[in-house]
Amino acid sequence: MQISRRTVLAGAAAAVVAFDPVNLGWLTSADAEPGVRIPALDGELLVDEASRAAVADDYGHLVHRMPVAVLRPGSVRDIQKVVRFANRHGLKVAVRGQGHSTYGQGQTTGVVIDSSTLGTIHRIGYGQAVADAGVRWLELIRAAVQAGQTPPVATDYLGLSVGGTLSVGGIGGATSRHGLLVDNVLSLEVVTGEGEVVHCSPSVCPDLFHAVLGGLGQFAVITRATVRLIPAPTTARVYHLTYPDLPSYLTAQRRAVGDQRFSYLEGQSTPTGLLLEGVTYYTPPAAPSDPALVSDLAAASVEISEMPYFDWLNRVYDLVQQLLPLRLPGPWINVFIPDEAVEGYASAVLPTTAPNDVVLLYPVRRDLIGEPFVRLPNSPVVWLLAVLRAVSPPDAAEIRRLTALNRTQYDQAVAAGGTHYPVGAIPLTRADWRAHYGRRWAAFRSAKRRYDPRNVLAPGQGIFG
């Protein structure tokens, strides 16, 4: 194991060489006798306060769990060793991608594995890319586009890790054509909760493959992914259509998602009305027909613009990077609502949003989304309603109010046949999780028993206590 300079500077007069499983502390060579030797690592295990405090937080700034150590793996073997070590000594392990959860999903009082040190893009081949789980989509997509290819679907913000998004699902405007990120994965390398390195795909260890995609990190640590690529277009033509009221907006969105006329379809509720955002990707000399795309959508106004394809995918990155240093608490709620209930549900939720909230409301086709542990309502068209809140200035009472509101709106969503997309800040019980998985709960629990029998991985969601 390499002890980092920071570790030594933080006051460990001698190198940390052992773990005291009784007192959950680290021992130096001087007092290591009663402790358990830490396995030799290619990377480093950080135990200093600053390193641990840095991962006891996330994008939401609502939950803070101080881990006993942070592993910055130098290899997949390191992850395997630490997971096995955790199994032997009753420690929990959480993986941190980019820390963009909002409610402690990637935190633990045990060991945090910071996947950013495993950040190599191994190959951009024809039709597929192979990347470590710690790679951000920004770098992967940039490299793919330079090679004339692209993942079919991207999240709105590209500063998220491959592993972090594949553990939740990964939704974006192209989901209306290509499903979620997890629907576009060809194979995975993972370290199971027992510390086995396994390569899995739809034909090799398919149970594990399908459990891990959208499995909220419960069964294995994703270490590497092979993702599908398609030819990249050069240009994005962007159509902004406005609507004065919810019924006319929903009608236009239903029409657009039904015939898949756009390459990308999203939409927002704004303080001045509702905005349908459709984008057509193309490479000249081919060009989209504007009237064919928008004339039957009955918009109050239409605005058309154009930009290079990569710039479009990367449109929100700079804005989010500017927000990050403000550290504004972010009690987000993200739910999926069946088409038949969306008008009633959105009518109740939209008036509770604040002018500064980003409120996404757009449909996806259920038949394009296939991974079993991504829970969506059973309806041909499903709506994402996401209220991305930022409490400014930070205020404890307002955070409590909004977190309680999230819980109320979650209950209303469930009552309407909806589910939640587990990246937000909703206080949930284990019973809520059982209800979330519904008829898939038995399969989810049995996969946990099979791949992480000591319940070591990903405690932050609170699914198994």
Ligand X SMILES: Cc1cc2nc3c(=O)[nH]c(=O)nc-3n(C[C@H](O)[C@H](O)[C@H](O)COP(=O)(O)OP(=O)(O)OC[C@H]3O[C@@H](n4cnc5c(N)ncnc54)[C@H](O)[C@@H]3O)c2cc1C
Which residues contact ligand X by CB under 6 A?
A: 58-59, 94-101, 105-106, 115, 133, 155-157, 160-161, 163-165, 167-172, 216-217, 221-222, 320, 423, 458, 460
Looking at the Cβ atoms of 113 and 299, the one nearer to ligand X is: 113
User: At closest approach, how far in Å is the CB of 60 from ligand X?
Assistant: 8
Prior bond of 393 cis (ω within 30°): yes
On whether the CB atoms of residues 16 and 45 are closer than 8 A, the answer is yes
Looking at the Cβ atoms of 65 and 294, the one nearer to ligand X is: 65
Looking at the Cβ atoms of 26 and 59, the one nearer to ligand X is: 59
Looking at the Cβ atoms of 194 and 343, the one nearer to ligand X is: 194
Looking at the Cβ atoms of 216 and 229, the one nearer to ligand X is: 216
Distances (CA, A) of 156 to 162, 264, 373: 14, 11, 22
Looking at the Cβ atoms of 345 and 421, the one nearer to ligand X is: 421
User: At closest approach, how far in Å is the CB of 451 from ligand X?
Assistant: 12
| CA 260/CA 179 separation, integer angstroms | 12
Return all residues near 188 (Cβ < 8 A) that are at least 6 apart: 166, 199, 200, 201, 209, 212, 213, 222, 224, 225, 226
**How does strand 419-420 pair with strand 333-338?**
antiparallel
User: At closest approach, how far in Å is the CB of 165 from ligand X?
Assistant: 5
| CA 459/CA 295 separation, integer angstroms | 50
User: At closest approach, how far in Å is the CB of 59 from ligand X?
Assistant: 4
User: At closest approach, how far in Å is the CB of 13 from ligand X?
Assistant: 33
User: At closest approach, how far in Å is the CB of 191 from ligand X?
Assistant: 9
User: At closest approach, how far in Å is the CB of 291 from ligand X?
Assistant: 30
Q: What length does the chain have?
A: 465
Return all residues near 389 (Cβ < 8 A) that are at least 6 apart: 330, 331, 332, 333, 353, 354, 357, 402
Q: In 3D, which of 413, 460, 365 has the Cα closest to residue 56?
A: 460
Q: What number of CA atoms fall less than 13 Å from residue 147's CA on the CB side?
A: 17
- State whether residue 457 is helix, strand or coil: strand
Looking at the Cβ atoms of 87 and 115, the one nearer to ligand X is: 115
Return all residues near 10 (Cβ < 8 A) that are at least 6 apart: 47, 48, 49, 50, 51
> What is the DSSP code string of 341-370?
HHHHHHHHHGGGS-TTSEEEEEEEEGGG--
User: At closest approach, how far in Å is the CB of 189 from ligand X?
Assistant: 10
Looking at the Cβ atoms of 58 and 183, the one nearer to ligand X is: 58
Looking at the Cβ atoms of 97 and 152, the one nearer to ligand X is: 97
On whether the CB atoms of residues 317 and 159 are closer than 8 A, the answer is yes
Looking at the Cβ atoms of 174 and 299, the one nearer to ligand X is: 174
User: At closest approach, how far in Å is the CB of 402 from ligand X?
Assistant: 16
Strand residue runs (E) in 147-219 = 149-150, 185-192, 197-200
| CA 458/CA 188 separation, integer angstroms | 18
User: At closest approach, how far in Å is the CB of 68 from ligand X?
Assistant: 16
Return all residues near 14 (Cβ < 8 A) that are at least 6 apart: 28, 29, 30
